[in-house]
Amino acid sequence: MSTIAPRMLDRVPSHPNRHPLRHLVLVGMMGAGKTTVAEALSRGYGLVLYDIDQWIEKEEGRSISRIFSESGEAYFRRKEMEILDRILALPPGVIATGGGTFVGETNREKLLKNGLVVYLEASAQALWERAKNADRPLLQGGKASFESFQRILQARTPFYDKAHHRVWVEGRSPESVAGEVWELYWANEGSLP
């Protein structure tokens, strides 16, 4: 794992060298910065990084977009569930989920049970600005409208709200968000089942 790099953090971590006892799980909508914040947590605090989408792409040898177009969303969701099970059995680290991972009930229950789940939250407009240009199959490769994005967000918000904690990410650096998530993690570790 990478060593601690305090220069990239905007505040001094209170628990820089403690190893997590359970997974730290980042959930939220496309564009929330789950992967970027997970990378900052990994770099800054030496956590093992598990990125579900990256694992899927690596194992399948094709992009998420291609998986959706060639094999369909149901296939992707099965794969997502399988990879999640495998990650949960590994030593605790930070898990970057995909935007839909926490929506499925089975996944949600497992994540809530096996980790501290943090919802990375921002306004619909800010999420859209960050998500719209990337190659995301649910946004039809950038052709989807803001209204359809808002509909997905609205439908998913009740599920994201079930996370243990929420952190507002808009207008903040990944390092600042990572610092807050890390403090939250240690403030809660031991107080949950």
User: Binding site residues for substrate, as ranges?
Assistant: 53, 77, 99, 156
Edge-to-edge strand ranges of the sheet holding 165-168: 49-51, 94-96, 23-27, 115-121, 165-168
CB 193 within 8 A of CB 145: no
Which phi-psi region, left, alpha or beta, contains residue 89 (left: φ > 0; alpha: ψ -120 to 50)? alpha
Q: Under the rule (CB under 6 A), what is the footprint of ligand S3P?
A: 30, 34-35, 53, 64, 98-100, 136-138
Nearest by Cα to 16 from 182, 173, 192, 190: 182
Residues at the binding site for ATP are 31-36, 136, 172
Smallest gap from Cβ 56 to ligand S3P, in A, equals 8
Return the number of the residue (44 or 100) whose C-beta is nearest ligand S3P: 100
Smallest gap from Cβ 4 to ligand S3P, in A, equals 26
Return the number of the residue (93 or 99) whose C-beta is nearest ligand S3P: 99
Nearest residue (beta carbon) to ligand S3P: 98
Return the number of the residue (9 or 23) whose C-beta is nearest ligand S3P: 23
Return the number of the residue (15 or 110) whose C-beta is nearest ligand S3P: 110
Return the number of the residue (35 or 107) whose C-beta is nearest ligand S3P: 35
Smallest gap from Cβ 77 to ligand S3P, in A, equals 9
* CB atoms closer than 10 angstroms to residue 28: 26
Smallest gap from Cβ 175 to ligand S3P, in A, equals 19
Tokens of 149: 């994005």
Largest CA distance in the chain: 47
Smallest gap from Cβ 180 to ligand S3P, in A, equals 20
Nearest by Cα to 107 from 35, 36, 184, 159: 159
Residues at the binding site for Mg(2+) are 35
CA 177 to mean position of chain CA atoms: 12
